[in-house]
Each structure stands twice: as C-alpha cells, then as structure tokens.
Amino acid sequence: MGAKVRAVLATVAGAVLLAGCGTAPHPFEPVFGPGAGPLVTRPGWEFGYLFGLIKNRSDTTLTIDSVSLRGPGVGTVITLPDVRIAPVGAESISQANYVTDPPITNIPSGCHKQLLEPVAGYQLRPGAGVRIWVVVRARKPGRWNIPRQVIIYTVDGGTYRHVNPVRYWGTVKTAARVSGVVVAGDYQPAACVKAESSRYLNYYHAPR
Amino acid sequence: MEEKDRTVHTGIKENGSYHRWVWAQYYFTYYLVCICGDRSTLTYHQWQPDHFQGTVADYNPNVPKGRKHPVGHLAFKQPRYNKGPNGAWAVRIFANSVPWVRDNGTRQENEVGIGFSLGSLPHGISGGSISLEDLTTYGSITSVTWTYRKGCRRGDVRVVWGRHDDPVNASRVMSSCVPRGQG
C-alpha cells in the first residue's frame, strides 16, 4: 500500500506542475483529429481530398505563406500535383473525396464548383475558414502517410507555424482494384465537368 | 481518466440508427492516501483506475442490485439534420470515397450526476464520500471510422455531420442517409 500511496502523491505533484505551464494563444479554431484513408490505388492514378478546417478565430487577418504536407512516401510513392486553398463560404461545397479538379458537385439546384485559391499569400480574415484541396498522384508501389497539415502564416509582422491534425494515408499497388467509371447519377457527372471547366483526375471518366 | 493510446476491436456491428454509450472496463483500486506531516496528518480513501481490462462494450454492465436499469444511462435524441451553409456541416461519403476518420482532439464532457458516479463503483461499495468524477468524457480516447456502405434509399446520400457545426470540430458527430438535395 505504501508504494501506491507514493504513486498517488507523485501524480498529484505532477498535476500541479503541469497546471503551471501556460500555452500561447493561437488564432485557429481547434479541430478534432480527422483523417481520410486508406486510399488503395494504382500507379498513375489521382485522387482528390477536400477535408479539414482552418478557421481564424482571432480579430486579425492572417496571411498564409505555405502549407506543408510531408510524411513517409510523399515525393516517392506519391506526389501532390495540386495543393490549394478552398475557402468556406458562398463558393464552397461539402467536404468529401472528389475525382475532378477543381472539385465539383451536382445537386438539384445545379452544378457547383469549389473556389480554389493559391496557398501563398492567401488572406484569412477574422471569422473566415478554409479547407485544403489536395490532389494525390500515385507514383510507384508502396505506402505513404501524411500525418498532419503544417501551415506557415504571418500576422502582425511575425511568422508562425500551426499544426493542423488532418491526416491522409494510403497504399499504391500495381494490382489494386480501382474503377475509373464515375457512375451516372453520381455527384460529378460529365455535364457538370464540362460546364464548370473542370477535369477528371487520372484515370476517372464518364461511362463510355 | 487515462492518457494512453489503445486499440481494441469491439466487434460491435450495427445497422440503422445507433446511439449508445461505449463502455471501457477498468479495474479500480481503493487507495488509502496519507499526506503525512510532522504536525498534522491527512488521510483519506480514494478509488483510482488501475488498468484497462481489455473489454469495450456498448451496454452498461453496472446494474446495481435492486434496480432494473443500468446506472448512468443517458437517452440521446438525434437532432434534425441540417447540412449548413453550402454543406459546411457535412462530410459526404461517396461510393468511391476512402473511409473518413475522426479521433482524439479536445473533449466533450457530460455531467451525469452523482448517481452515475456511485453506480459505477464496484459492487458492495456505495454512498458516503466516495465518488468518481461525475463527468463522462468521450472523444479524447476514441477513434471512429465511417466507411461507405450500400443501403441508402435510391437517390439518397450518406453524410457524416455535426449539429450546426463542422464535423471536424463538432462535439458530437452523427451519420445519416439524406435526400440528395440535402446532402
């Protein structure tokens, strides 16, 4: 029992020490750890991700300098041919995987396209939110993992780093079972792809 | 209660509406805590979780003697689905989507009252000054994956959604089949 008593006392002491450590306030709304995976695909194929949320809860406009998506297999197993800012607002669509670039959707009110902006220099106003649009292109067999989004931003003359716990992962296999047919009645029909000046990602296509 | 990553296969498979608390079973140890000084000594008893017992279930195993219902049962009425402005409060899961996951992050706590705490104590221990935290916490040690399945009505779409909030930071996340126009 003596050892257990000491253990409890040590825990109490530890809690007191932790309570004394402050954390610097940061301007982004915290998110739970969302992710999407595993993607199982073949070399040459592409896939789009529109997930996560970066929301400015401060009263100052931030400038996003870069978004870093690094991890095992990035650059070797896969490449990221398109990484852009997707503002959440009047010209946004729901979070999902998309097989067109820009991502588009077809709902009863018609075709809708997600507005995409370059990452560098994007101005994130107070209260505004964005998602990151990421196109993954499979390059060679293997595993890959992007455990987080790292956002470098500038505010009031200082440059800071924000780690957003949004993750993506997958496997590239030569013999992976994938279908490129975007079925009729789906959310990304050929008519919308054309009307919205979008394109299917490799090797997705309308039924022939 | 515990700050340690664990992965446990629950074997829980449900179709249709499913709103249940998930219970992780822990072995508790009853401590005598002594804060001993030269001039004064403070002693008290305290229950502490000792170790995880390897079981996760979606029923509350703590049914006290003389009662029919588990202590701490909380009903949950799912709110009406609202996709939000431009679908901002929903994640759509298509047939070709990869599974969508949400795990850890901040906590959602629910006050469930003193009865919950006492009822959660091992059999034979009750009342008095003994109590556990009268809060339940979920979200911090759980991970849930949503994978596309057939079964929605024709023309419906599967969505994972938060109530008036983005699913990435909503305190509760729900999933539904909804008409395509609402997805």
Summarize pLDDT for B10-42 with one digit per residue, the tens.
777 776 666 666 777 788 888 888 888 888 888
Question: A96-124, pLDDT tens digit by residue?
Answer: 999 999 999 887 778 899 999 999 999 99
Chain A closest-CA separation from residue B67 CA (Å): 34
In a mutagenesis test of the B interface, which of A95, A177, A182 is the best target, namely the one with the most B β-carbons within 10 Å? A95
Q: Is A57 helix (H, G, I), strand (E, B) or coil?
A: coil
Omega of the bond leading into A203 within 30 degrees of 0 (cis): yes
In a mutagenesis test of the A interface, which of B28, B166, B169, B172 is the best target, namely the one with the most A β-carbons within 10 Å? B166
Q: Work out the pLDDT band at A59, boundaries 50, 70, 90.
A: very high
Closest B-chain CA to A110: B181
Alpha-helical segments (H) within B19-101:
none
Burial A125-135 (b: 16+ CB within 10 A, else e): eeebbbbbbbb
Range ranked top by mean pLDDT from A28-37, A38-47, A163-172, A190-199 = A38-47
Chain B closest-CA separation from residue A5 CA (Å): 5
Closest B-chain CA to A90: B86
- Residue B23 pairs in a beta bridge with B57
Q: Work out the pLDDT band at A186, boundaries 50, 70, 90.
A: low
Instruction: Work out the angle at residue A206's Cα, subtended by the Cα atoms of residues A111 and A196, and round it to the nearest 5 degrees.
Output: 30
Q: Which CATH number applies to A28-200: 3.40.190.10, 2.60.40.10, 1.10.760.10, 3.30.43.10?
A: 2.60.40.10
The reported pLDDT for the residue numbered A62 is: 94
DSSP helix, strand, coil percent of chain B (3-state; round to 5): 5, 35, 55
Residue B166 with chain A: CB contacts under 8 Å: 31, 53, 95, 129
Cα torsion angle, B7, B9, B12, B14, sign: positive
Q: Kind of pairing, strands B90-93 and A46-55?
A: unpaired
* DSSP code for A158: E
Asked whether the beta carbons of residue A95 and residue B91 sit closer than 8 angstroms, the reply is yes
Q: Work out the pLDDT band at B71, boundaries 50, 70, 90.
A: low
Domain positions in chain A are 28-200
Output the CA–CA distances (angstroms, integers) from residue A150 to A37, A153, A164, A165, B97, in the order listed.
19, 10, 6, 9, 24
Structure ipTM over 0.85, yes or no = no
Q: Is A7 helix (H, G, I), strand (E, B) or coil?
A: helix
Residue A35 has, within 13 A of its CA and on its CB side, a CA count of 21
pTM: 0.73
DSSP helix, strand, coil percent of chain A (3-state; round to 5): 10, 45, 40
Omega of the bond leading into A38 within 30 degrees of 0 (cis): yes
Output the CA–CA distances (angstroms, integers) from residue B176 to A97, A117, B78, B96, in the order listed.
18, 31, 10, 17
Output the CA–CA distances (angstroms, integers) from residue A120 to A123, A124, A162, B157, in the order listed.
9, 11, 15, 35
Closest A-chain CA to B83: A94
The residue ranking higher by pLDDT, B132 or B23, is: B23
The reported pLDDT for the residue numbered B37 is: 82
Q: Is B182 helix (H, G, I), strand (E, B) or coil?
A: helix
Q: Which of A175, A150, A176 is nearest to A161 (CA)?
A: A150
Asked whether the beta carbons of residue B88 and residue A187 sit closer than 8 angstroms, the reply is no
Q: How far apart are CA A177 and CA A207, in angstroms?
A: 18
- Please, what is the average pLDDT of chain A? 85
Token look-up 């509350």 returns B60
Question: A22-33, pLDDT tens digit by residue?
Answer: 333 478 887 877
